[in-house]
Amino acid sequence: MKLPRASSRSRWISALLLGTLAAAAHAARAPVELAAFSKTVELTPTVAMSNLAKECSVASLVSERVGEQLQRNYRNMKSGDGLPKLTGEERGLKLSVVNMFGLGGGNYSGPKWMVIRAEVVGSEGVVSARDFRRVSVASFSGLFMGTCHVMGKVAAKTGADIRQWLRQGAPGTPIPAMDEEDDVDLRSEQAPAPAEPTASDVAAPPASAASS
List, for residues 156-207, the tens digit of each pLDDT value.
999 999 999 999 999 875 554 444 333 322 233 333 333 343 333 333 344 4
Phi, psi values for residue 132, rounded to 5°: -120, 135
Evaluate whether 47 touches 97 at the Cβ level (below 8 Å).
Answer: yes
Evaluate whether 151 touches 56 at the Cβ level (below 8 Å).
Answer: yes
* Residue 110 Rama label (left phi>0; alpha psi -120 to 50; beta): left
**Which domains does the chain show, CATH number per domain?**
30-185 (3.40.50)
Q: Model confidence over 77-101: pLDDT tens digits?
A: 999 999 999 999 999 999 999 999 8
Residue type at 107 in one-letter notation: N
Whole-prediction pTM: 0.67
